[in-house]
Each structure stands twice: as structure tokens, then as C-alpha cells.
Structure 1
Amino acid sequence: MWNVDDEPLPESERAVSLTAQAGGDTEPSGAGQRSPDPVRILSEVFGYSGFRGRQREIIDCVAGGGDALVLMPTGGGKSLCYQIPALIRPGCGVVISPLIALMQDQVAALRQSGVRAAALNSAESLARNQEAERALLDGRLDLLYIAPERLMLPRTLDLLARARVALFAIDEAHCVSQWGHDFRPEYIQLSLLAERFPGVPRLALTATADAPTRREIVTRLGLERARQFVSRFDRPNIRYRISQSDAGGGSARDRLLRFIRQEHPGEAGIVYCLSRKRVEAIADWLAAQGLEALPYHAGLSVAERDRNQKRFLTGEGVIMVATIAFGMGIDKPNVRFVAHLNLPKSIEAYYQETGRAGRDGLPADAWMLYGLQDVITLRQMLDQSNADDGHKRVERQKLEAMLGLCELTSCRRQALLAYFGDDLDSPCGNCDTCLEPPATWDATEPARKALSCVYRTGERFGVNYLIDVLRGRETDRLRALGHHHLSTFGIGTELEPAEWRVLFRQLIARGLLRTDLDGHGGLSLDESCRPLLRGETTVELRRDQRPARSPRERGSRAARPAADLAPEDQALWDALRACRRRLADAQGVPPYVIFHDVTLAEMLHEAPVTLDQMAGISGVGISKLDRYGDEFLRVIRGHLGL
């Protein structure tokens, strides 16, 4: 198995030195003795005025020595739940993180805030790793990030046994579950921590875990006595939109381009595709249309993946076209859209991938196109896998739930949250089915015709052939097989081929039809279709329509910071972003490590002209005020003519 701990770090992390601060300091500005008051740390170090949700409860639990299982949506502030206890408790907090990219962002951001943070990994030089180890043993670190593979090395465990460990934080804890969408076998070994460090509090954190996955996390990590903190899963700033790729409106790539140009020009986004080949084709095509689009998949060299990822993280409007190999642990807050050009294999995967949009809390889009071939491909991949029958059964149920989310006619957000046991009392008003309720139709008779045709042709043909039979198209193959004599030949002329394809897709989604196991796309009847064939039940299906008008056309979308600004405000906004870019480039870190868009937007609207006023801006802690306050005040004062 590929070892992520062996993946080289992007250059931006190499620029964050453990020992090389301006003036030769061995610690970041502001490091050292801190107040044990969580509220004061939140304000002075991180620049926020108050906790969100259950953050304070979790921090108090862990700071007091308790174990915890934390489920909190992406962008909900999970990191503070272990970072602040690590600053309160004596010793160093050890964070088990699955990806180099996540370590990079966390360490860079923490050091900007004056926190003594480092990462141990094989991408660093021997000298730098040795310096990090000395700092750990000398008590000069607040947080140490490490991958599970490296943590489990006997040498690393011995090192930690000689250090004072404040806590263990197991990030992306769903990776421990064999039923999860990002299973990492190395995570199972982390149960050893309870045995080797019995007095050290442990907390496991994830944004995506249904009830069975939560139970497995508890069992495998020995967290039976841990308090469980399950936050609301809702991300109200994300608009969910799902359309069929064969519903009209042009090809999938044309519709994607129209979506980006009309709704997210010049903004960062992620486009997910199922195959490496399609990733490269879509990235090349978007680039040919004048967009900055880059590919990312496991087939690229490590150097190219690193280069593209760094460009995405540090750029202001880069689009990453990727397989699911990209994204876990990406902290970029201003991703304004996540688009899927293929169906995800589970609601957990969909929720986590779409959750990479709008981490800053500003409006974002989760936009997806899917079609019949996606359903067939995913089912074939599952049926042909080497997993045991029990695992296949669970994965098949997860895929059915994902299809159900796509095909429903009620509020998508209510269904999405219900999957995770989180109820939403009323429709959200911010998904496509709420904004433009889909039409339905009584598809009972056409569905019976389709099922009969599958049966009478021998339950071994694909959709296109079945449509030829239903519509009475006498092809050479059809005549050779004698199917032009069947009772179902020509009985389906009331629907166009595209309409029949949609109907077959929905019958597959509802489990009334099954796909074959040999990769040829043949369909067969599922036992559940018999009541419909016998006339005992009816079926209403979603009527596909042309893609809905964009939110901008409807005029109902909340404004982003740079949307619809007056010319004078636009000039200040551009100047603030240019200042951030200059400071970020000088240090080799992403712009959002300096300040998030939300912080710049508050500067824009509040226009502080003194350091005291700047200190009141959300996201400006003591360290960042000291580092950057004068720079941004100079920009604001110049804009105001002061």
C-alpha cells in the first residue's frame, strides 16, 4: 500500500522552519506561557470572540483529562477542539493526521498564530526531524503532527514515552472503519495508544460517520468510556444541486463550463471525476477554454501532484479536477464550489467531498451531474471486488442510499441529514428541489413495459438494445435474435430514447432492476419488481427537466465578499487581497494562512484605522496583529486618504 508519510511536502511547508524565525528566535512570536482560560486563548491566539456549537464542552472535557469522540461538519471548527486543550495541558499535543497536506496547512497556520507547532515525517531532512524531536523532548513544542504509519514505529513510540504528551488527537477517525469510505488499515493499530499511554486523553474526530461507523471507531480505538459529541451535520451555506447528465442542456462538460462561468468566474473549485482518464480530459478541456484547471490523480508523479496541489492551495481561482485521491485534509477555506461529474459511491463520500466547499461559511455550491452509466459502473465495481459478501451488502446499501438522494423529489438537505441521524424540521430552501420542486409523473405503465421487455429478451441485454426493442427499431442484431417477434417489440413509441434511458436509470436506482456482473451492462429483474409487474403497486418517478436557471439568474443567492461591490469598495477589496498575496508569497504559504476571506471582508466593511480597532476583527489574534496589522492598516488608510 502506498504510504502517504513518504510523500514529499509541498514547498510551502518547507518554508515554515521550526527554528528559523525572523531575528533568529527559536519560537514563534507569542509562544511560551499562556493563560489556561480557553476563552482568552481563543481570543488572543486565534482571534475569535466566541466558541461555536459544542466546542467549549469538548475543550473542557479533553483539557480535564477525558476522552472524546467528536463528530463535527467540515468547517465546524474541529481543530480548535484539540489545539486549545494542547495549549492548556502541560506537554505537547500529538495529532495523528493522514495526509502531508493536512499537516502542512495546520502547522503553517498555527505558527502564524504564534503556536509552537511542527510535523515529523520522512519528507523532511534528517536534521529538521532531529530538531523537532529535540524540541519535543525539551518541552518547546505545543503541537506535533505525525502520520499513523510513522507513529507506530517503535522508535517513535519510544520517543513519545520520553516526552510529556498532553493529548492524542486522531483526526479523520473514520479511516479506522472498514465500512468507511476512506479506510486506512494503519489506523487500526492506533488502539495501541490506550495501552502504551493510559493516562493521556485521546479524542477521535471526523466529519463523516454514520451510526455503524461511529460504533466501529469506538470499538477499534478503545473509546468505550469516551464522551460522544455529535454536532449538527448541516452546512446551511452550501447549496445542493443534482441533475441527470442525460436530462438535456448540452454535454456534461458544456454544462460544467456554463456553471463555472455564470456562477463562479475566477473562483476556486474542485471537480470530481470517477476515472483518471476523464480527469485529464476535463482538466485539459477547461484549460483550453481559458480557465486555470489542473489534474490530480494517483497516476501522476508525486512531483506533479505536489506541484498542482501547491498551485491550488496558493492560487486565488484555480480549479482542481481530480479523482477521490484528492481532498482529504484540504483546509483551503474559500473553495466556492465542488462539482461531481460522476456519482459518488456513498452519501458519506458525497458529504465529505462537498464539504470541502465553503469552509469559511460563505455561500458555496455542491453541483453534480450523474447518469445511468455511473450506476452501472459503480455496481459492477462493487460486484467484481474481492470483498466478502457482508462488505458488499453494506456497500450496496450505501450506493442505494446515494441513488435515493439523487432521485428524490423532496428536500435534499433533509434527506442528507437524516442519513446521519440529524433531523431538519422543515425544508431547507437552499437546494434544487426546494427552489424548483421537480415534477413527477405516473410511470406505472411504461415501467411495466420496460420490466417486461427485460424479462422477455432473456435478462441479459443493455439499455440501448432494450430501447430498440421497445421502440420497434429493427436492427440486424435484433432480427438475428428474433426479438422483432416479441410482444414487447414496438410497444414503447410514446417515449423518446432519452426518456427511456432516464426511466431505466430510475428503475435501477430504486432497485427494481439489477446490472450484470460481467461488465457488459446487461439488466435483469430484481425480486422487488414483481408486485409492480403483477399490477399490485404503482410507481411515480421524477420527471427530468432542463437544468434549472442559475442562482444568479434567479437573483436569490446571498452575496459573497466581492459580489456586487461599489467601485470604491472593489478597489479596497482588491488591495487587501493583493497585500495578503504579497505577504503569503514572501513566506511561501497559501494566502488563507495569512487571513481568510471572511477576515478581509470584515476589514472591508469595518475599515479599522488603528491597531486597537484591527484587534476587534474576527481572525486577528495577537500574533497576527503584531505581524500584519500595520501592513493592512496602511492599505486601509491609503484607501481612505488618511
Structure 2
Amino acid sequence: MEAILKSYFGFSAFRPYQKEVIQGILRGKDCLVVKGTGSGKSLCYQLPPLVVGKTGIVVSPLISLMQDQVMALKQRGIKSEYLGSTQTDYTVQHKAERGQYNILFMTPEKACSVSTSFWSKLKTAGICLFAVDEAHCISEWGHDFRVEYKQLDKLRDVLPGLPFVALTATATEKVRNDIINSLKMKDPQVTIGSFDRTNLFYGVKSFDRGPLFMNKLVLDISKYVASGGSTIIYCTTIKDVEQISKALEEAGISAGIYHGLMDKTSRAESHRLFIRDEVQVMVATVAFGMGIDKPNVRQVIHYGCPKSLESYYQESGRGGRDGIASVCWLYYTRSDFAKADFYCGESLTENQRTAIMESLMAAQQYCSIATCRRNFLLSYFGEKSQSEKCGNCDNCIDSKKERDMSKEAFLLLACIQSCWGTWGLNIYVDILRGSRAKKIRNAQFDMLPLHGLGKEYSSNWWKALASQLISNGYLTENIRDVYRTISISAKGKKFLNSVRQDCLPPLILPVTSEMIGENENDSALSEAGKMENLATYFQRRENEAF
């Protein structure tokens, strides 16, 4: 194994977990491998075929990804090729049937559609493994579910006794279990590496789409271009891609673009220019995704929040693959979290809809937390952090202003309790701000004693506070189809029950960037005003009870 590692790949030692996985495969064990981006998962299925002199079958989701891998392997002297579902040239298939390849890549569609006789000939020539790359695509609970991946279990009957190897960089415990069950793995060897990319700095900021922010973004990017590092900017829409690339061009910064509406040739050329450092900035949608292995990306920017933390981890993980310090900034607006109905198409199953909603909620929570972002990511993927603060994210290095928000928290919690906790956040905020919209009047929420008591704060301020209360366990978000409702948790009820007139238990929370602005600059409620409002509320509540 070590000799082949050195002669074909040029490495003198294995990375963590690689050797154990390869040994498991050579013993005929089914294996599930969950390792972070850039950790060397591919070697786990590339090396065994060279050891035993048989063909390794690898299922991969994208033709472009397979082409890149085949090219790289051929350059190392490893005989490899790919089969796609639209290929009409049968030369590759015939050579594969005679065992002339070390590694044969296939799309999931092709793997499920080739004849049984093809598999029989392959087995006769010699197969040593069946690997499923990007295996999170199997699971309806994953962030990139593909129906074709779900059908791969049919091949267990066609290939009895062959070790199945599933590999992914992003899989929660629920997704891992789904992969094992879907592929009918028997007592698999499960290897989970660390998700901690210590050289990456994580930062999050809310922003307003407009010329001021765009100018700042261009200025930040120009600094990295000047230092020789590469930057990837991920956008949620093609319109944003075009707007940012135009702003960079006007600033004299050459940038490539990449999105799904470009033709195949244009995308390939844009990819080539970026990989070869002929352009240092790539502005792209998530179409610029799997298989991007450029070591010197110093900055990954998300212009808009991704639809899941899995997507964010994978995309941000394309920075700093050479181990050198890199930064990952995520800029978001509250409208990013209202896209559930856009992501949840009618063709999706209930499980898929729920998974999308849960993923979006987790991404929103990541944006709004005031604690360590790295620890939040690690916890999401089931890994326990070693310390309370990582020292390499915006929340850990910035000393955040804190204040007692017990009065504001009380108003929001009391409002939610008065509405039975069955509505979305916007309704509660509208009540506190004194709205007399038709929906409010029809439900007679304008008659509540606390209606209008929070009008001195903006809608965004109240929503930012709600995010803090969710993060700290006072409120709970619930999924109903593609809608979210907010209710009070047991911890929140305990806080409410401890309230006495004019006497609130302290509730110290960080002041986030969304809470700093016109409302925070002396125009917010004065302490006396707050107490007067609360006293009025208590008095009205007591009178009604009497």
C-alpha cells in the first residue's frame, strides 16, 4: 500500500483514516466514509484497485466531475475512464468488460440501466469495490437529494459479496443512517473524520443590497486580488452573479462567472481560467460545485445565505485547501429565510420538504447566533468541540455589546403566549408594532393589551431578538408544511412565570448588528417609558382577569 501510494500519488504517508478505510475495503467490508472537504476521500477508492489488480467502480453525480477525475488519474498513469447515460460509443464499455481499467466511473443513471450481462462480464474480469461518491445524494434528508441515487440498492443483488463504499463530506447522523439503510450495508465500517477546518475563519454579517455594500464588497475583494489569492463568490441567483461580476469589471478586476444557464463550453472555459489562475475571482451560483479542488483559494464569500448548513460547509470548505489561513464571509438578508416555498417544489415528498425546512432553519440559526460559529457547525455535524471559543470566527474575536433585554423579551414572549403560539413570527411582530392589518383585526389581536407596546423598535429589531431567543432556548421554531410557527419553550415559560409586576428577571443577550441602527441610537424606548408601558399592560391584564 505504501509503495503504491508513493509511486502513483507521490505521498510518503497516509492522511488520517485513509489507511484504515482502505484496509477495510480490502477485507471486503462495506464502508461509510464521512470526511471533510479536501481530506483525501478519493484515495480511499483509488488505491485498492491498484493493490489487487482489479477494477473499481465509482458512481459520481456529474459528467464534468468524472472527466476531471479521469484526466487527473491518467496523468498519474492510472487506467481510468467514465460511462455516462448518453454515451453511444461502446468502446469504453467493451474495454471495461475485459478488465482493462483500474477505475471506471459511472453516473447513477448509467449504473442502474446497464444490462446484467455487462455486470456479469465485469465480475468475470474482476471487480474489487463499488464506490458511491457524494453519497449524501442518496438521502431524502440530505441537502442534494437525487432520485437516481436512491435506486443504487438494486445493484446489491447483481453484485453480491462486493464491498460497497459510500463517501461524503457532509452528512448528519440522520443522513448517515439513511445512506447505510438505502445501500443495504451489512455491518459497515463507519469512519467519521473531523469537520474542523482550523485554518478557516468564519464570519457572518447582515447586509442591504445596494451600491454602498457593493462598493465595500469590491474593495474587500481587491485586497485579496492584490495579495495574489483567489476568491470564490457564491450567489443565490444568476442576477446577483451578473451584478457582482459587472461591479468587479468596472473596478478593473477580472472575474469569471459560472451558472447553470451558461452553455457547457462557456462553463468549462470559465472553470479552466480560474483553476489556472488566469482569473483570480470566480462569481458563481452553486452550479460551481462538486470537484472544485483549487488549493490557493484565500477567500470564499456567500452573497446570500445558502439553503442548508451542509451546502455552506461544503462551499466554504473550498477555501484554504493548502492549509494556509483563509476567510469565509457569509452575508445575508432576512428575505433569504423566506424562500422555503421556492425550494419546496410540488414534486417533493413530505420528508424532503421537512428536510429542506429544517436545513433552512439551521442556516438561519447559524447566521443569528452570538456564540462560536465553528462550534455551532461542529455540533450540527455531531462533533464535540474542544473549547468554548475557537478564536477564529467573528463572534470569538469581537467583544459583542450585551444588554439586559428582559423587558423586550417579556413583551415578545407574552405576545406569543396570548396568540397560543400557533402563528409565524411576522404576526407577533406586527402586533407589538401596533399593526391594524386585516389579518390582525380579523383575529382581534388589535384588542390585546400589549398591542403596539413595541412600536418603537423596527420589525428587523424584533426579528433579530426572536433569533436570539431561539438560539438561547426561550422560543421554539416548528415546521408546518412549508411554513414556520414560533412557540414558547419550557425555558421560555419558566421565564414568563417568574415575572412579577414591574419586576423582571434579568435576561442578558448580545446586541447583534441588526439591533444597532436608528432604533439603538437614543430613539428607542427610555427605561421609564418601558416600565410605564409594562405597568399599563399588567394593569389591563389584572382588570380583565378581575
| CA contact 2:80–2:103 (8 Å) conserved in 1 | yes
Q: How does 1:81-160 map to 2 (within 5 A)?
A: 81-121=44-84, 126=88, 129-155=89-115, 157=119, 160=122
Q: How does 1:490-505 map to 2 (within 5 A)?
A: 491-492=453-454, 495=457, 499-500=461-462, 502-503=464-465
Question: Which residue identity is paired with 1:53?
Answer: P
Question: Which residue identity is paired with 1:543?
Answer: V
Identity of aligned residues (%): 36
Structure 1 counterpart of 2:530: none
Q: 2:358 aligns with which of 373, 397, 400?
A: 397
Which stretch shows the higher mean deviation, 206-215 or 234-243? 234-243
| CA contact 2:445–2:451 (8 Å) conserved in 1 | yes
- 2:166 is paired with a residue whose SS is strand
Distance 1:83 1:461 in 2: 50
Instruction: Give the drift of 1:502.
Output: 3.5
Instruction: Give the drift of 1:71.
Output: 1.0
Structure 1 counterpart of 2:3: 40
- 1:219 is paired with a residue whose SS is helix
Is 1:541 aligned to residue 509 of structure 2? yes
Distance 1:188 1:60 in 2: 27
RMSD over equivalenced CA pairs, Å: 4.0
TM-score (norm 2): 0.78
CA 1:314–1:532 in 2, change beyond 3 Å: closer, same or farther? same
Distance 2:436 2:167 in 1: 59
Higher-RCO chain (CA-CA 8 Å, sequence separation at least 6): 1
Structure 1 counterpart of 2:320: 358
- 1:356 is paired with a residue whose SS is coil
Distance 2:99 2:277 in 1: 36
Distance 2:350 2:105 in 1: 37
Give structure 1 stretches of 5+ with no counterpart: 1-37, 548-642
CA 1:259–1:501 in 2, change beyond 3 Å: closer, same or farther? farther
Structure 2 counterpart of 1:54: 17
| CA contact 1:101–1:330 (8 Å) conserved in 2 | no
Distance 2:283 2:67 in 1: 21
Distance 1:294 1:495 in 2: 42
Distance 2:402 2:345 in 1: 35
Structure 2 counterpart of 1:286: 248
Q: Deviations over 1:15-54 (max 9, x none)?
A: xxxxxxxxxxxxxxxxxxxxxxx11111111111211111
Q: Deviations over 1:227-263 (max 9, x none)?
A: 11111121112111112226x9985434432332234
Distance 2:74 2:220 in 1: 37
Instruction: Give the drift of 1:216.
Output: 0.8
Q: Deviations over 1:556-611 (max 9, x none)?
A: xxxxxxxxxxxxxxxxxxxxxxxxxxxxxxxxxxxxxxxxxxxxxxxxxxxxxxxx
Structure 2 counterpart of 1:68: 31
- 1:152 is paired with a residue whose SS is helix
Instruction: Give the drift of 1:419.
Output: 1.8
Is 1:371 aligned to residue 339 of structure 2? no
Question: Which residue identity is paired with 1:187?
Answer: Y
Structure 1 counterpart of 2:136: 174
Q: Deviations over 1:52-76 (max 9, x none)?
A: 1111111122123332111111111
Structure 2 counterpart of 1:313: 275
Q: How does 1:451-470 map to 2 (within 5 A)?
A: none
| CA contact 1:441–1:542 (8 Å) conserved in 2 | yes
Instruction: Give the drift of 1:393.
Output: 4.0
Instruction: Give the drift of 1:219.
Output: 0.8
Q: How does 1:313-332 map to 2 (within 5 A)?
A: 313-332=275-294
Instruction: Give the drift of 1:381.
Output: 4.1
Residue correspondences, number: 502
Distance 1:107 1:461 in 2: 50
Distance 1:518 1:161 in 2: 46
Q: Deviations over 1:585-640 (max 9, x none)?
A: xxxxxxxxxxxxxxxxxxxxxxxxxxxxxxxxxxxxxxxxxxxxxxxxxxxxxxxx
Is 1:414 aligned to residue 378 of structure 2? no
Question: Which residue identity is paired with 1:99?
Answer: L
Instruction: Give the drift of 1:217.
Output: 0.7
- 2:36 is paired with a residue whose SS is coil
| CA contact 1:54–1:231 (8 Å) conserved in 2 | yes
- 2:336 is paired with a residue whose SS is helix
CA 1:515–1:225 in 2, change beyond 3 Å: closer, same or farther? closer
Structure 2 counterpart of 1:269: 231
Distance 1:73 1:324 in 2: 18
Structure 2 counterpart of 1:619: none
Question: Which residue identity is paired with 2:90?
Answer: Q
CA 1:301–1:526 in 2, change beyond 3 Å: closer, same or farther? farther
Distance 1:249 1:448 in 2: 35
Distance 1:254 1:167 in 2: 52
Structure 2 counterpart of 1:632: none
Distance 1:518 1:39 in 2: 52
CA 1:276–1:40 in 2, change beyond 3 Å: closer, same or farther? same
Question: Which residue identity is paired with 2:103?
Answer: L
Instruction: Give the drift of 1:535.
Output: 5.8
Question: Which residue identity is paired with 2:397?
Answer: L
| CA contact 2:475–2:487 (8 Å) conserved in 1 | yes
CA 1:114–1:340 in 2, change beyond 3 Å: closer, same or farther? same
Question: Which residue identity is paired with 1:130?
Answer: Y
Instruction: Give the drift of 1:478.
Output: 12
| CA contact 1:455–1:525 (8 Å) conserved in 2 | no
Question: Which residue identity is paired with 1:178?
Answer: E
Structure 1 counterpart of 2:518: none
